[in-house]
């Protein structure tokens, strides 16, 4: 298993040697490597068993660093960074050639973000390169929100997990790009559409792709646990699936089941987002065959939660 600790200097040394390290962010834990080192980036894909047509997000300590790796930062992007960086916002920008094509899957744009986690921002500020860092889990599986989640899945493949405690947001960053000055959300996440539109005005949503995605995290079947996820009305679903073989994932409702996870008894969408991936992982350790889930209210962070549920179930309706 990987060593877990808070030694930034050790993490820095490993990264400078071209190794990969798990790092904390406010959203989920990332599997990080030197974004300018093709060998290190290749290790990320190998450790995750991630297809190379799925691009990676590049993490920087601040907007000034983002200028080093992108060709242009439009005024609308600057307004977003002023408001939401550091934070759960990834911006899709035209890349400079210094960013390897492997990072962007051959696209001329790169996803850039400044994470809102003190430990990782300190690490980034001490490095001479940015970090490519998708979620620190096997490709397609539930994203990790604690060091233990990372160790359970990748502990035999990496040397070190930088321990930043449980992730505060618990769901990946929102990805925003611009086409003809129109803001487009490519992945819903920890920053709500309402928050973005308060800065940019109306946005378009283009949040999934079955192949050759234009941004990270767009694949339709993703964030999936080892059990089959079925979404609908829990009461109706319980008529179709045997109770002893099913886990129940609810927003607020308590069905008094031994195999149940209530995302937020108080109906708080932020709490529900924090708990989502932990809940999906918990079901994998239960003696069940199915996870019966219900959507949360489709507002604010609820849109991102519902997006992840759809992908976990790989349903057709987006």
**Residue 128 labeled ligand binder:** no
Q: Which of 278, 280, 275, 274 is nearest to 293 (CA)?
A: 280
Q: Do 26 and 32 touch, CB atoms closer than 8 A? A: no
Q: What is the DSSP letter of 36?
A: T
**Residue 79 labeled ligand binder:** no
**Residue 168 labeled ligand binder:** no
Q: Do 73 and 176 touch, CB atoms closer than 8 A? A: no
3-state secondary structure 230-263: EECCHHHHHCCCCHHHEEEEECCCCCCCCCEEEC
**Residue 281 labeled ligand binder:** no
**Residue 143 labeled ligand binder:** yes
Distance CA 105, CA 270 (A): 32
Question: Considering Cα of 264, then 258, then 224, then 228, what sign does the dihedral take?
Answer: negative
**Residue 109 labeled ligand binder:** yes
**Residue 59 labeled ligand binder:** yes
DSSP 56-111: -EEE-SSHHHHHTTBS---HHHHHHHHHH-SSSEEEEEEBPTTS-HHHHTT-SEEE
Q: Which of 263, 295, 297 is nearest to 170 (CA)?
A: 263
Q: Do 173 and 190 touch, CB atoms closer than 8 A? A: yes
Number of helices (H), then strands (E), belonging to the chain: the values are: 11, 15
Tokens found for residue 311: 């992908």
CB within 8 Å of 221: residues ≥ 6 apart:
140, 311, 314
**Residue 50 labeled ligand binder:** yes
Q: What is the DSSP letter of 11?
A: H
**Residue 221 labeled ligand binder:** no
Q: Which residues are annotated as a binding site?
A: 27, 50, 59, 109, 113, 133, 135, 143, 173, 187, 223
Q: Which residues are annotated as a binding site for ATP?
A: 50, 59, 109, 135, 143, 187, 223
Q: Which residues are annotated as a binding site for L-threonine?
A: 27, 113, 133, 173
């Amino acid at each position: 298993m990987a060593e877990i600790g808070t030694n930034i200097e050790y993490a820095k040394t490993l990264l400078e040697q071209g190794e990969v390290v798990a790092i904390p962010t406010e959203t989920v834990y990332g599997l990080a490597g030197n974004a300018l080192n093709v060998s290190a980036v290749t290790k990320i894909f190998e450790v995750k068993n991630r297809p190379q047509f799925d691009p990676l997000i590049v993490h920087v300590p601040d907007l000034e660093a983002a200028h080093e790796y992108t060709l242009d930062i439009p005024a609308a992007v600057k307004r977003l960074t002023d408001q939401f960086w550091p934070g759960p916002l990834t911006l899709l920008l035209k890349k400079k050639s210094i960013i390897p094509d492997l990072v962007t899957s051959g696209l001329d744009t790169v996803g850039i973000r400044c994470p809102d986690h003190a430990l990782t921002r300190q690490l980034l500020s001490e490095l001479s390169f940015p970090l490519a860092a998708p979620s620190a889990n096997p490709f397609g599986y539930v994203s990790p929100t604690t060091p233990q989640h990372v160790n359970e899945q990748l502990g035999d493949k990496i040397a070190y997990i930088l321990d930043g405690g449980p992730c505060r947001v618990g769901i990946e960053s929102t990805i925003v790009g611009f086409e003809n000055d129109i803001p487009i959300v490519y992945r819903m996440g920890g920053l709500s559409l309402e928050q973005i539109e308060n800065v940019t005005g109306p946005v378009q949503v283009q949040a999934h792709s079955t192949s050759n995605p234009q941004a990270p995290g767009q694949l339709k079947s993703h964030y999936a646990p080892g059990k089959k996820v079925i979404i609908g009305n829990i009461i109706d679903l319980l008529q179709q699936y045997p109770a002893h073989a099913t886990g129940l994932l609810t927003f607020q409702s308590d069905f008094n089941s031994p195999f149940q996870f209530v995302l937020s008894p108080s109906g708080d969408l932020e709490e529900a987002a924090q708990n989502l991936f932990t809940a999906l992982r918990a079901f994998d350790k239960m003696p069940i065959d199915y996870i019966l889930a219900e959507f949360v209210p489709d507002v604010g962070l609820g849109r991102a939660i519902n997006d992840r549920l759809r992908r976990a179930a790989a349903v057709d309706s987006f």
